[in-house]
Amino acid sequence: MLSNHYDVIVIGAGPGGSVAARNLARFGHKVLLIEKRERIGYPVRCGEASTNLEDLQTYGPVDEDCIESIINGLFIYGPDGVNIEVPKPNTGIMLNRLKFDPCLAKLAENDGAELVTLARATYVSDVENGVRKMRIACGQGAGERIEEVTAKMVIAADGVESLVGRMVGLKCGQLPGSTCTGVDIEVQGLLTKPDYLTFWQGHDFINDGYIWSFPKQKSNVTNFGAGFLVPKAGQPNILDVTMEWLNKLYPGAKINHVVGGLVPVSSTLKSYTLDRFALVGDAAHHTNPLTGGGIAAAMRAGRFCAQTVHEGLTTGSGDAGNLTAKYLKTYEKRCYNYFGKTHDFEFKFRRFLLALNKQEQVGLYKVLQGFALSGYKKSAFLKTPMQTAKYLYKFWKFK
C-alpha cells in the first residue's frame, strides 16, 4: 500500500526520473518513484550511446557492468563519398540500458525514494490547498488496484508520449514535422570500428535523418539502426528502410531483436512546467535535435528539476513551499542555459542541412571534413574562405 501523501511523486523510472527522485530523496524529501512496467529499462528503445564516463559518474556510482564500450571518435559517411572522421578520446560511452536504468533506480531507492513498479498514473488533479491529487493503478490484471495519494509536487518523466503531461494540459505531443521514427536492430558481432560511433547521412543515404552503427564490445553486438521524420502516407516505413540498409551494408548480418519508437527533434519545449508540476527528459523534448540522443540531457534535467523543487520546498512560505509555475521557470532556465541553447542551434543546423540540395550538401561536408582533418583548428576554415563564408551566410539567413 502507498502512503497517503508525499512531498514529490516522480512518474517514470528512466534516467531522468531516477536522477530526479534520487536527488530529492537525498535532500530529505519523501519521494515516490513509480514505473508502469514491471521491468525497469525494458524494452530498450534507443541506440544506448551517451555522455562520457567522467560526466556519467557525477550521477552516482555506476556499475562497470553497465558500460559496454568507451567511444573514442565518430566516423560519418557523407554524400558523394565525402567522409568525416572525428577522433576524440573518451568522447562518450555505450551503455547497456537493461542494466543501467535499473542501476539508477536502485540508487534512488537506496537513498530513500520509494520505488514501485507496475504502477501508472491515471489521474492528476489541479492544485488544491497546496497539493495535487493523483490516482495510481498498481499491479495488473485481476490484482490491479487504484490508490489515491497527494503530493506537493509531481514530476513526469514518462517518455516521449508523456500521457501525464497531456493529462494536465501541457502541449507536449509530437508533431510529425519535428518527430522522427526510429528502429534499432541488435546484430551479432561488431559491424564497424569497435570504439567509434559510425553514421551514414545525406542524400546518398537518409537525408532527413541518418543510419547508425553503435558497437557494444562487452556483449559483442552492434546496435544498427536508422531514423527519419515521420513519413507521409504511402511512403516507406522506417522498419523496411532500416532492414534494406542493413542488408545492403552488411548482408547476412544475424539479427537478435528489433525495437522502435519516436524521437522528438523539435528542440526543448518552450514551456513544460505548471503549478507544482514539471516534465523531465523526453517528455519535455530534452533530446538533441541533431542526433536524437537524450540520456545525458534527461539526467541533467532530472538534477536541475530536483534542485529547483528542493529550493522551492525549503525557501517558500508554509509547509507546501513555493512551487508555482512562475517559480519553476528557474528549472526551465537552468536547462536552457546548460543544453537548451545548444539544442536550439542544432535544431536550426539540422533543418539547414536537410534543406541543402546534394551539391550544396557535398560542399558543406568538404568544409567540415577539412576542419576535422586539421584537428578542429579554426584556422582550417581559412583554407576555404569563400566556401566557409558562403555557408555561414546561408546559415545566418536561414529561418
Average pLDDT, the chain: 93
- For residue range 213-234, what is the model confidence (pLDDT) as tens digits? 999 999 999 999 999 998 887 8
Residues of the chain with CATH 3.50.50.60: 5-46+98-174+267-342
Which CATH entry fits the domain spanning 74-94+176-264: 3.30.9.10, 3.40.430.10, 3.40.30.10, 3.40.50.970?
A: 3.30.9.10
- Please confirm whether the linkage preceding 385 is cis (ω < 30° from 0): no
Within 10 Å of residue 322's Cβ, how many Cβ atoms? 15
Give the residue-averaged pLDDT of 20-30: 98
Q: Is 139 helix (H, G, I), strand (E, B) or coil?
A: coil
Q: From residue 108, give the alpha-carbon distance in Å to each of 16, 53, 174, 186, 262.
A: 11, 19, 29, 29, 27
Residues of the chain with CATH 3.30.9.10: 74-94+176-264
| Max Cα-Cα span within the chain | 70
Element (H, E) at 311: helix 295-315
Q: Per CATH, the architecture of 5-46+98-174+267-342 is what?
A: 3-Layer(bba) Sandwich (3.50)
Q: Residue 317 pLDDT more than 80?
A: no
Q: Which amino acid is at 106?
A: K
* Distance, CA of 92 to CA of 74 (rounded, Å): 10
- For residue range 353-375, what is the model confidence (pLDDT) as tens digits? 999 999 999 999 999 998 888 87
Q: From residue 43, give the alpha-carbon distance in Å to each of 63, 100, 259, 298, 365.
A: 20, 13, 8, 18, 36
